[in-house]
Amino acid sequence: MKEPYTTILTIAGSDPSAGAGLQGDIKTAMVMGVYALTAVTAVTVQNSQSADAILPVSADLLEQQIDALASDITIDAVKIGMLPTAESIEAVRHCIDRHKLRNIVVDPIASPTLASARCGSSSAFDTLKKCLLPIADIITPNVHEAEMLLGATAGSRSATELAVLLCNEFGSRSALVKGGDCAGDSITDALYEARSGCQMLFFSHSIVSANTHGTGCALSTAIACGLARRRSLHQAAADAERTVHDLIRAGANFAFGKGGYGPLGTLSNLTSNKTNNCIP
């Protein structure tokens, strides 16, 4: 009997610079030893200098992609990133229900629904909160996105408080609120699991690097990979935090493009650095 691949399905946009989105998720899954299936939600135009355009894939085509994969291949976990329209969010929810997909990781940071809310369009934003957050095993916003989801005043709550409020407000099973966008040399991320009431803090020192494009995508994908490999939620989150920190450090000394905003390190960078004892 042949052993099946451990798989995740990443539902996200295409990033031609391969720092974030589907391309970044595939690289992260390789680091984690998991096979990444993909469903594209949008095609973007971006490089190290700017993100200039986005073309959403139709909700019908998105649904067909997921149906084709789920009807043929066992999916061990799902990472949900960029969903540009309310219709695409609803399509993903239909597929999750129809195929009884599990281990759902929702990354609101990767979703332009938050940006659309800033521009006055609340349809996708409200649909995200109604359709996907309640069925998520874990959601992974940073502090600013968590505040926006909750309508909280900026800086009024700690990461731990925000994680608890998110689960209570939207019914998510757990929340990991990242403090990496906050000022200072020390970073604190807070994990809260609603069922047990367990809280966990992850502390790390900020790494000076211009190559942090796709950090949020990498963390949510790494968590999905851990869940796919039957790790506990806390272990999956801890492994993901450590892996992303290592990837940032592995890519810190590389130059990328004219804009200088480059991707995290790759599997080869990580392996090379570990071989040279640069990463413990």
Residues 25, 217: contact at Cβ < 8 Å? yes
* 258 part of the active site: no
Helices of type H across 71-194: 86-99, 113-118, 123-127, 143-150, 159-170
Catalytic residue among 178, 180, 221, 225: 178
Catalytic residue among 215, 221, 262, 265: 215
* 243 part of the active site: no
Catalytic residue among 216, 226, 262, 265: 216
Catalytic residue among 95, 167, 217, 225: 217
Tokens 């995200």 belong to 128
* 38 part of the active site: no
DSSP state of 72: T
* 178 part of the active site: yes
* 184 part of the active site: no
**How far is the CA of 98 from the CAs of 56, 59, 94, 119, 206, in angstroms?**
23, 15, 6, 33, 42
Distance between CA atoms of residues 23 and 4, nearest Å: 23
Catalytic residue among 180, 214, 226, 265: 214
* 215 part of the active site: yes
Strand partners, 11: 39, 80
Question: Where in the sequence numbering do the catalytic residues fall?
Answer: 178, 212, 214-217
